[in-house]
Every structure is written in C-alpha cells, then in structure tokens.
Structure 1
Amino acid sequence: MRSFEKLRAHLSAARVVLGAIFVGLIVAACASGPGGGGGGYSEGEGGLAPTGSGGVKVALLLPISGSGDTPEIAKALRQAGELALFEFNNPNVTLIPKDTKGTPQGAAAAAESAVSENAELIIGPLFADEVRAVAPVARRGGIPVIAFSSDRNVAGNNVYLMSFLAGADVDRIASYALGRGKKNFAVLIPESAYGTIAEREFAKTVAAAGGRTVVRATYSTGGASLSGPVGKVANAVKSGQQVDALFLPAGPDELRTIAPMLAQNGIAGGKTQLLGTGQWNYPGIGNNAALVGGWYPAPDPGGWNRFSQRYKNTYGSQPPRLASLSYDAVSLAVSLSNNPPGDRYTSAQLTRSTGFAGVDGLFRLLPDGTAERGLAILEVQSSGPRVIDQAPKSFSSRAGVYGNRSFVEN
C-alpha cells in the first residue's frame, strides 16, 4: 500500500497532467473495501485502519465484508472518500472505516463503535435497512448521519441522504419544458412505484404553472404489449389534439422497446418533444435514433468526467457511479471540519441554504433529510448528450432552484 505521502505526491503529479481541477467547495463522503487497488491507507487489523491524522473523527460505515458484489462497491466508495481527503491541503479529518457486514445488526454494531471512538459524523451506510439500524444509535450519541440509501423513508431526524431520489429531478424537466412554451402534455407512465412518484411530481409542477395533462396512458413493466398505451398517445396526436410534449419516465430497457414504437407512430424524432428523467442518463442513449432531440435532467457530465479521470489515475480503474456520492460526502465533512467543536456538523451547518458544490454539481441537504440538486438539462444527440441549459450556480437567488419547489418538500 502506498503511504499517505506517496499518494498525495501521486495526486499532485496527476494534477499537472490534468490541468487545474476545481475542488473548491465540493462536499463529500467516503468509502472502500478491504484490500485496496492502489489506495492510500494501510490495512491494519482487519483492513480497517484509519486514514489521515486530523483531530476530527469521521466514521465510514460500509459493507466491507458483505455478500455478493457489495465488498467491491464498498472498496470504491472508500477509495473515493480517501481521494477527497487527499485532495484537500492538510485536512483536519481522520476517516475511520467501520464494517457493517451488509446487515442491520452489523451496521448497529459499527455505529456503536463509532460512538465509542468519539466520531463527530457518520458517513454511510449503504442500504436502507442498515440506515434504520444506525439511526437510533447515532441519535443517542448525538451524531448526524449522511447515508447513501435511495429510500426516502429512512431520511429525517438527523439522517441525511446524499443519493439521487426517485422523482427529485422531475420538477427540473417539467419547469424547463413549461418555460419553453410547452403547456399541454401527454404522459406515458410505467405501472411501478417509480412511475407513480414521477407522475405525481410532474403533475404537481405542471398544474402549478397552469399547464395540463391532456393524454394519459400507462403500461405494465412485466413484459405486456405496449402497442395499446403507445397507440393511445399516438392517436391523440394524429387526431389533432394539442400535445406539446410527451413525458416518458422510463429506464434504458423500456426505452429500447418504446422509442421505436413512438417513431413508427410519428411521435418521436423531433415531431413531438420527448421529456425524460434522470433514468435517461445512461451511456449510448443517442444510439436510439427515436430519442434524439429528447430532453432530460441530469448533472453536468463535465464534473463526473473530471472526477472519474482523477480516480482512474489514482486507483487504476473506473469508479462506479455511486463513488461521486462518497467523494462529495467526505468533502463536505472536511469543508466543515475547521468550525469550532460542537458547531461542525450541526443541522444548521449541514442544511445551510447556500448548499455545497460537488462532483455532480450544486446540492444542499434539506431539513427533511433529503437532498436538493442543481441539475442541467441535456438533449439527446447521436454523438452524445449536449447540455442545453446549464445547472444553476447558486441557490441564493430564489426559493428553490427552479421556482416551484420550496426548500423543503412536503
């Protein structure tokens, strides 16, 4: 294993190759599994040796010895967090990894250990059932938790989620479409929990701006025929009904089936504006010609590209997409670590209205435990997505990034 100093020197050399890298206010987290791949930590007993020598202790709760592929995910999360630590100059933080074993019982024990070692902040765990087990332990110890679960039901009461939550991006695409004169919408919704959330958030934003849904169709995600739902939307358009755009909150597998059918029915390829969600943010979406010209909300890809290059230069492999959450959580911990004891990770500090800038752009933690993010609007192109509306640079100019949402969602 490289020493802390050797890795710091390696990163300095990488900066020369990559040019100036914006780290600034980036707010972050950390993780990684045992055995390292070029990491800057020593294994120590059980592979859980701390990283850094700062006076502020931050615990990292990860499924280091979990089942399946979770140890590899944990390894990448730990390495991303360490990268954030190394990129700060003389950080006042020591990262203390704790193995949750991928179970609620293991997570509770890891949290108890973090409390006993006087950790001031817990980053992680990864899974919702682990977060539920950690939360009461952390509350008794007076320690806030920044977790990676995407289940909003575990957020709140001093537990904050760094993850991208279902439906949280819908206001962005709806507001952008409304701002471009789209008022009458068709919706084609999957019959799933995600579809229910996405449709609810879309309807809320559209109604608040005086728009309306004029055609609604749903489809089963269990492999049933899509000809009926697609035909319903197509017939409305062909009959001359005013449809300015079609909202399609579908994932990659569904889009590969639905998009050609839309094209065959004359409502794709720019003839009717297609609107997606963050589920459209996958490699190669532009290979589907029927989706070219469609709009969807996502982080500006530049931040992720720069981060993944630095990660690859340091550890020799591409990071999983979750790694940016860990980097941002640890960066957040470091950026607040120089505050006086007792005032570092208070609710007021963690939920400051100006937020933080991270790998995936501007974000802030909300009092309800969820995160609000400043997203760009991307347009599908055959050569790759193109940013057509920049992500906001500040939360300060108005109540909410896009105008229709308050700081705390109800």
Structure 2
Amino acid sequence: MDLRTGGPLLSVRTFLLGGAGLALAGCSGTTLPGAGSPLPSPVGAQATAAPGSTIGTGSVKIAMLLPLSAGGAAGNTATQLRNAAEMAVAEFQGPDITILVKDDGGSAAGAQAAAQAALQEGAEMFLGPLLADAVRGAAAVARPAGRPIIAYSTDTSVAARGVYLMSFTPQNTVDRIVQHAAQTGKRSYAAFVPESAFGQVVQGAFQEAVSRSGGRVVAIEKFPLDPNGVTAAASRMSGISGQIDAIFVPDPYDGAAIRALSSAGIDTRRVQVLGVGPWVGNRAAAQAAPTALYSAPDEAGFQSYAGRYRARFGSDPARITSLAYDSVSLIAALVRTQGSQRFSEAVLTNSSGFNGVDGLFRFRADGSPQRGLAVIQAGGRVVSPAPRTFAGS
C-alpha cells in the first residue's frame, strides 16, 4: 500500500497489498479514488493541540494518544505529531475517519485513562502513544478490548501481538548495515560502543545481526562519554586492526570515538566503519571517517513532506513526525479499501507491507517493525538504495 503524497511526481496515492485481493507489491499499484494533490493550507504559527480535540469528521473513530501536557521535548513533539496527523487528514481527500486526540500525560496511568475514554467514545483502534510506559498503559486497555495499537515508541520491549511499532528501531538500522557489510564480504567484526542505554541496545542488536549473517565478533569494547575515557578505551583495541574487516561504532555525537580509534592504530581506510542513523547530516562524523557507512530512510520523501509541513505550520517538523503522517494515511487508506477487516491482524501484518513518506515498512506479527532502509556513506552518497519491496527478506 503506497501512502506517498505531495510533489508533482508523488501527487497520487496508490496501494499495494499482496494477498488481500489487490496488486502485489512491486507492481504498478492501483490509484485510490479521489486522491490528488495536497489541499491548500494557510500559513500560520505552530498549532497548539487541546486535550480532547478531534481531527476530521468521518464515521470511523480512531484514537491518538500523545503526551500533550508533558512539557519539554515530549510535549513539543506531541504537538508536532498532532499537526502531522491533521495534515495527513487534510491531504487525503475525503477520509472517512475522525481522530480523537487524547492527552496521555506521558505516563502509564494517563495512557490507561485516555485509552478508556477513547473506547467509551467508540474508538476502533489507537495511534500512539509516544513513550514506552504510556504504550504499556494503553495496551492494558486496548488489547483486552481487541483494539490494535500503532505506537511511536522505539522501545521494542513494548511490541506485542496487536501492539505494533511504527518507529525506526535500533534493531532495524543495525540489521541493515550488517546485512550490507556481509554482502560485501565482511566476516570478522568488532564493536566500540558507548556506555549508555543506547549503547546496550545497539550492542545486542549488532551481535544478533552478525550471528545471523554468518560472521563473528572478534571484540567488543565500551567507552565512557568523556574524552579521556574514549581515548583509553580505544587504546585497548589497538592490537585487533589486522583481525577484523569492519568495526561498528554507534557514536552519534561528533566523531570522537572514530578519531580515538584511528589514533590507536585502527586503519579506518582498510577496516570498514559501520555507523548509525544520527550521522545523517553530521559533518564532524563524516570528516572523522569519510568512508563510514550507516543505514537510514531515503530522505526524498521526507523532504517533500517537510516542505508541506513548513508551509502549513510555519516551522520545521521533527524527524519523528512522519510516523504520525504515515500512520494516519495508512488508517485512512485501510478504511477506504478493506471494509470490516480494515484493522484485522491479517491486514495490518500483510507481508508486502506499505510505502509512505519514509519508504517501505511493515509490521511483524510480534508487533516489531521492519523498514526498507538505504545504506549511505558518511559524506551523503547512497551506496545501496532502500528496497522497493520486501521480496526475499
């Protein structure tokens, strides 16, 4: 199901759903009736969502749970996610949905209360929450009621049958970059990871990905987040340069870890450096290792979406907001095309997946997401484009 919109080349929505009586993914697709160019929108200040507000006037009710009152970064992100949902409804001509926007306060208890209120108002499914604890709270209400959730958390521990994650997870990005390394002949790996929750997650994902690829992990070293600690940790890896083909360095900061490894004798011109998505646009990381590779979504779709968001709300969208846009577009398309089975497990976990602003994605039966990602060199050159289908995955 192709959810792309905007721009002269992507001005229509087509849908591809193998096994659901529609075109198989990889074919040209079918145009949704009534889809067209985005509707004109007034330019104005960033909208502020009020708890309990609604978006759209359709007959099918969908709940969107967001930490609108949480304050700080979470509250600001919640407002932008709500904006993206509003934009998706405006650009999908005649969607038969009403989104019940509920404030979950960023907590499990708040999400439980918000989910219960939405159920009483007739919500058939849930979008959000954003934060992991809130997802758990919402799931405690939604799952017993048989209502699926498409959440925006990156914490895969909250994924479950009927609780699907829309996000870009560390597992997805690490899987893609290790898969590419294996396809180019890399077999022996090392990892240099930060001592943090993020480091712990990506280390586990890295070890699993290398094992699946048939490779071996020669060494793993952790570094603290201070310059002296990075240098000392890198020195402990100085003797392994000749034993490895690639080294995984999930350093999303300023390239300090890569520079420390180079100073310790790791030849980053011979040993392939594998990085992470936050290197997108990071000049310091690119300068530290110009040939390093990372995985990320193709940016073309997001840039088109961001331009339309900027015109509508007068500010740049956070990267995560495309998740709300794509999830609302998906729901609107399923309501239009899938009848009473629109939110069934069979439809939501269709193996062909869906295609949106950020490219190809699908939900596994266990709730975890799979994304079609590109492999990009630190300087910005795409060395392996994002896949167009999940065939062979």
* TM-score in same-fold range (> 0.5): yes
What residue is the counterpart of 1:149 in the other structure? 153
Query: Which of 130, 133, 137 is the matching residue for 1:126?
Result: 130
Query: Which of 7, 10, 15 is the matching residue for 1:21?
Result: 10
d(CA) in 2 for partners of 1:248, 1:287? 11
d(CA) in 1 for partners of 2:285, 2:214? 35
C-alpha spacing 1:360/1:51, structure 2 compared with 1 (3 Å) = same
Q: Kindly report which structure 2 residues correspond to 1:72-221, keeping only aligned pairs within 5 A, or say none.
A: 72-221=76-225
State the AA in 2 paired with 1:182: K
Q: Kindly report which structure 2 residues correspond to 1:294-373, keeping only aligned pairs within 5 A, or say none.
A: 294-339=292-337, 342-373=340-371
d(CA) in 2 for partners of 1:224, 1:23? 54
Cα displacement (A) at 1:38: 5.9
Q: TM-score, normalised by structure 1?
A: 0.81
Percent identity between the aligned chains? 38
d(CA) in 1 for partners of 2:46, 2:71? 23
What residue is the counterpart of 1:261 in the other structure? 260
What residue is the counterpart of 1:33 in the other structure? none
Counterpart check, 1:65 vs 2:55: no
C-alpha spacing 1:102/1:182, structure 2 compared with 1 (3 Å) = closer
CA RMSD after TM alignment: 2.6
Deviations 1:95-150 (A, max 9, x none): 22112233333222211121111111111111122111111211233211111122
Partner of 2:341, secondary structure, is coil
Cα displacement (A) at 1:223: 6.1
Cα displacement (A) at 1:192: 3.3
What residue is the counterpart of 1:9 in the other structure? none
Query: Which of 223, 230, 233 is the matching residue for 1:226?
Result: 230
Cα displacement (A) at 1:25: 5.2
State the AA in 2 paired with 1:100: D
d(CA) in 2 for partners of 1:109, 1:299? 35
Q: How many aligned positions are there? A: 362
What residue is the counterpart of 1:278 in the other structure? 277
d(CA) in 1 for partners of 2:208, 2:54? 46
C-alpha spacing 1:26/1:154, structure 2 compared with 1 (3 Å) = farther
Cα displacement (A) at 1:66: 2.2
d(CA) in 2 for partners of 1:38, 1:199? 38
Query: Which of 293, 299, 303 is the matching residue for 2:291?
Result: 293
d(CA) in 1 for partners of 2:131, 2:389? 31
Contact 1:64 1:100 in 2 (8 A): yes
Which 10-residue stretch deviates more, 286-295 or 49-58?
286-295
d(CA) in 1 for partners of 2:361, 2:53? 31
d(CA) in 2 for partners of 1:299, 1:219? 28
Ranges in structure 1 where 5+ consecutive residues have no aligned partner: 1-13, 28-35, 401-410
State the AA in 1 paired with 2:156: R
C-alpha spacing 1:22/1:372, structure 2 compared with 1 (3 Å) = farther
What residue is the counterpart of 2:377 in the other structure? 379
Contact 2:285 2:378 in 1 (8 A): no
C-alpha spacing 1:75/1:204, structure 2 compared with 1 (3 Å) = closer
Contact 2:246 2:273 in 1 (8 A): yes
Ranges in structure 2 where 5+ consecutive residues have no aligned partner: 17-43
C-alpha spacing 1:50/1:267, structure 2 compared with 1 (3 Å) = same
What residue is the counterpart of 1:249 in the other structure? 250
C-alpha spacing 1:371/1:157, structure 2 compared with 1 (3 Å) = same
State the AA in 1 paired with 2:293: W
Cα displacement (A) at 1:259: 2.4
Cα displacement (A) at 1:26: 8.3
Contact 1:185 1:247 in 2 (8 A): yes
Partner of 1:167, secondary structure, is helix
Partner of 2:68, secondary structure, is coil
State the AA in 2 paired with 1:159: V
Partner of 2:178, secondary structure, is helix
State the AA in 2 paired with 1:250: D
